[in-house]
Chains A and B, each alone.
Chain A
């Protein structure tokens, strides 16, 4: 969606294009026009069907299952016979001893993601864009994409090898330079840095794709004009390149904020141990812990629902702000 909409012209173009002014249509007229359009290009609308079916079956129908957040659900009783308990599980979540810790851990990781992991691909894309040698650019691009295709299990395995106490190459090097005996894998102070290193290594290269596509769409004439006006490379960057990709950045930011509380279950779960659990526990791992290993389906559904609601509020808020201040928004 973003790629196809990426601006062909240089100026920041609002992605939500205002419909050309049409005479006010009553709802019946609008319905008739939908019918007319359906009749005119049925194949086009037929192509929508798989998408609608997908969302209906895999996204909307399962929402029925949210009801178990308000029950004491037991699989064998099913959703109809499990006792209804109202907000009990939410009360338990908000008043429980773990809530504060989970919330702050989740928010801190999410914040780090937005502040560090989100801008990284933009910076790398801008740097790649400045490279003159196409061969070199393509090579670097390909090289930094590769980690994206590795599963978290493999990334964690590598992390354990590289950061192992006393024998991991990175640990050895680090201790050589800074002294001391750092235990990256168990020290709670190092948990978040290691997580961020993993995220950056795995995701940055892949993230550049969208920005490089946006950069490729910038009109060359603008650079020429800027050069004639006497702009240096940095001025071109500031006044041509960056304004051109701002809409893409905004869209990506909104999309990312929607996943604000998705802090990466696999990644965190595999790096968690008894010594760093205080900073590692987030909503996702807690849901797994309670729901899958402890059989508390209702409670973990309640947590999941809470997480979903926060995500929804954030995405709507971010979209509203983006619309207000930058003219580009998602919807």
Chain B
């Protein structure tokens, strides 16, 4: 039995703990003394199921390479952004924080001084100097660099097509948007599978968001709407207010109304996108080129002998008159940012950047993206070939995690993986070729770098208006006048302010 005093004491202690916990938020960066950094703390998202072993072969090799022990906090990707918030409000902040994207919160925190402004500092580091200025500018926040961006392929757009269907109907690969519409029609109406089964042309899942390289974004850019923002003689205008936006969606609606698109395009789960293609319910997917390789893999799993003629891909389409606009990705995915609370001094910043610089060298990139040569991969020409062994599979699974902390902003210096079979190699070469030609007609988003104050506040809601209006129009819930009215609602609910602020920033950026 407790005495009353003990109880009171316990209650007092409890209250004190509560008070401390509540105050913890404000005293951020308790560890941020000016001592030398002897081990590098990193927080990164984990996309696979198991976190790498801190004592594992790969981490040991990386630590040896940068000459410093690593303490990495792996956080499951699904809850990563929440954890960034919680961590920034705590007093155990890592030296390097991976950001998964240019979120409103990252921009606000950076501008309030939460992360180092690296604009003038990065050029001092050879391996942290961006190779592609266009991507680097797009990754900046109003021209300032608050993190080292993580490089991704700038061109990924591709249409995956059932090649055997195409051949069966004697059709050519599409070059222009009207070719695609014709193929979608033929795939729906002319029994491409040859067994009378119900088929459709284009497969589109429920797609959320605007300007994130979805199927509708592709279609609109191909028609000439530009990419999110359109530069019209030095001023920015939203791409969806361009006349081509209506034109593109008019033809998309025609395709949907004639049944050349899957009927459940508004509700189909995008995680099951491959299924209707694989099971022969549809024959066209406009997405990224890695999907075509995935689909080929599915057919190979089903029939390892006869899969070579199932899938082909083409890149961006032109307009029927031959003019072509290709839709690039932002070219990066998130950043490695350095919180000021945990790295307060210039000397410490130099230590952290020095380590990151090493990781971005050719050798560092290969460690992070390929693994340990001779253990889990071998080099064949300029491609990597996986080694099959138990040790190798351990390292390989760690590689998939460590790739998340690589930036490669100086250009990718690791080895691309060698495709397995003949058809894969052919498809891989084909996609690399059309990506390269598509880059010549790529329309980058001229407003990518700029984040207006009112967009930070209302952006999610405003984007939603466009997404919903577009889909309602495509589904036939509203007519063209209704679509125009909805887009005017965008302007009226704060969009005009976004346009004004964006143009102000854009003019400042141009000068």
Contact indicator B25/A79 (Cβ below 8 Å): yes
What distance in Å separates the Cβ of B364 from its nearest Cβ neighbour in chain A?
Answer: 29
Does the CB pair B2–A46 fall under 8 Å? yes
- Say whether, besides A273-B266, A274-B467, A294-B459, A76 and B88 are in contact (CB < 8 Å): yes
Tell whether A294 pairs with B88 under 8 Å between CB atoms, given A53-B14, A164-B264. Answer: no
**Stretch from B50-58, B102-110, B246-254 contacting the other chain:** B102-110
B460–A290 contact, CB under 8 A? yes
Interface residues as binary, A281-308 with B (CB distance below 8 Å gives 1, 0 otherwise): 0000000011011111100000000000
Contact partner of A273 among B25, B85, B88, B267, CB < 8 A? B267
| B-contact 0/1 string along A183-225, CB 8 Å cutoff | 0011010000000000000000000000000000000000000
CB-defined contacts of A77 to chain B, threshold 8 Å: 26, 112, 114
State whether A75 and B104 are in contact (beta carbons under 8 Å apart), knowing that A42-B1, A165-B264, A273-B267 are contacts in the complex: no
Distance in Å: Cβ of A105 to nearest Cβ of chain B? 14
**Docked-complex contact A275 and B472, CB < 8 angstroms:** yes
| Contact yes or no, A295 B108, CB < 8 A | yes
Q: Which residues of A contact B88 (CB under 8 A)?
A: 75-76
User: Would you give the shortest CB distance from A149 to chain B, in whole angstroms?
Assistant: 24
Q: B493: CB under 8 A from chain A?
A: yes
The proximity string for B residues 324-359 relative to A, scoring 1 for CB distances below 8 Å and 0 otherwise, is 000000000000000101000000000000000000
Known: A76-B109, A77-B112. A166 touches B263 (CB 8 A): yes
CB distance from A47 to the nearest CB of B (A): 13
Assuming the A-B contacts A74-B114, A165-B267, are A295 and B468 also in contact, with contact meaning beta carbons closer than 8 angstroms in the complex? Answer: no
CA of A71 to CA of B497, assembled, Å: 23
A57 engages B18 (CB within 8 Å): yes
Whether A186 pairs with B104 at a CB distance below 8 angstroms is no
A295 surroundings in chain B (CB, below 8 A): 85, 103-105, 108
Secondary structure call for the B interface: helix
Interface residue? A111 (CB, 8 A):
no
In the complex, A289→B460 CA distance in Å?
8
In the assembled complex, which residues on chain A have CB atoms less than 8 Å from the CB atom of B21? 61
Contact in complex: A78, B28 (CB < 8 Å): yes
Q: Which residue of A lies closest to B493 (CB)?
A: A97
Size of B's binding interface in residues, CB under 8 A: 49
What chain A residues lie within 8 Å of B103 (beta carbons)? 295
Shortest CB distance B9–A (Å): 13
A137 is an interface residue with CB less than 8 A from chain B: no
Query: Taking the nearest CB of chain A, how far is it from the CB of B217, in angstroms?
Result: 14
Decide yes or no: A274 and B471 within 8 Å by CB, A165-B267, A290-B460, A295-B103 being known contacts: yes
Q: How far is the CA of A297 from the CA of B109 in the complex (A)?
A: 13
Is A323 an interface residue when CB atoms closer than 8 A count as contact? no
- A266 contacts the other chain (CB 8 A): no
Beyond A74-B108, A294-B104, A296-B457, whether A275 also contacts B26 by CB under 8 A is no
Closest to B10 in A: A49
A84 CA to B464 CA, complexed, in Å: 29
Residue of A nearest to B263 (CB): A165
**Distance between B299 CB and nearest chain A CB, rounded to angstroms:** 24
CB distance from A89 to the nearest CB of B (A): 10
Residue contact B112 to A76, C-beta cutoff 8 Å: yes
Q: A78 and B114: CB pair below 8 A?
A: no
Q: How far is the CB of A116 from chain B (nearest CB, A)?
A: 25
CB contacts (< 8 Å) of A79 on chain B: these are 22, 25-26
Most buried by B among A53, A77, A274: A274
In contact, B460 and A294 (Cβ under 8 angstroms): yes
Any B CB within 8 A of the CB of A16: no
| In the complex, A160 has a CB within 8 A of chain B | yes
Q: What 1/0 flags go to B261-300 for Cβ under 8 Å of A? A: 0011011010000000000000000000000000000000
Interface: A277 (CB within 8 A): yes
Could you tell me the distance between the alpha carbons of A119 and B134 in the complex, rounded to whole angstroms?
62
**In the complex, chain A residues 235-285 whose Cβ is within 8 Å of any chain B Cβ:** 273-275, 277-278
Contacts of A294 in B (CB 8 A): 104, 459-461
Q: Which residues of A contact B489 (CB under 8 A)?
A: 97
Within 8 A of A (CB), among B91-127: 103-105, 108-109, 112, 114
Asked whether B461 lies within 8 Å of A98 as measured between CB atoms, the reply is yes
Determine whether the beta carbon of A61 is less than 8 Å from that of B114. Answer: no
Take A75-B109, A76-B88 as given contacts and tell me if A274 and B263 are in contact as well, using a CB distance cutoff of 8 Å: no
Chain A residues within 8 Å of B2, by CB: 46
Given contacts A274-B467, A295-B103, are A78 and B25 in contact (CB under 8 A)? Answer: yes
Given the known interface contacts A165-B263, A165-B264, the answer about A76 and B89 at a Cβ–Cβ threshold of 8 Å is yes
Contact across chains for A275 and B464 when beta carbons are under 8 A apart: no
Render B477-504 as a binary contact track against A, CB cut-off 8 A, 1 for contact: 1000000000001001100000000000
Question: Would you call A64 an interface residue if the criterion is a C-beta within 8 Å of the partner chain's C-beta atoms?
Answer: yes
Which residues in window 86-135 of A have CB below 8 A to B?
97-98
B86 at the interface (CB under 8 A from A): yes
New A-B contacts (14) at CB < 8 Å, excluding given A274-B472, A290-B460: A49-B7, A56-B14, A57-B14, A75-B85, A75-B89, A76-B109, A98-B461, A165-B267, A166-B264, A185-B264, A274-B467, A294-B461, A295-B105, A296-B457
Name the 8 nearest CB pairs between A and B, nearest first.
Answer: A295-B105, A78-B26, A274-B471, A80-B26, A78-B25, A75-B89, A294-B460, A76-B114
Residues of A within 8 A of B (CB): 42-43, 46, 49, 53, 56-57, 61, 64, 74-81, 97-98, 160, 164-166, 185-186, 188, 273-275, 277-278, 289-290, 292-297
Give residues in B with beta carbon < 8 Å to A.
Answer: 1-2, 7, 14, 18, 21-23, 25-28, 81-82, 85-86, 88-89, 103-105, 108-109, 112, 114, 206, 208, 263-264, 266-267, 269, 339, 341, 457, 459-461, 464, 467-468, 470-472, 475, 477, 489, 492-493
Listed by A's residue number, 20 A-B pairs whose Cβ atoms lie within 8 Å are A42-B1, A74-B114, A76-B109, A76-B114, A77-B26, A78-B25, A78-B89, A164-B264, A165-B263, A166-B264, A273-B266, A273-B267, A274-B206, A274-B467, A274-B468, A275-B266, A292-B82, A295-B85, A295-B103, A297-B85
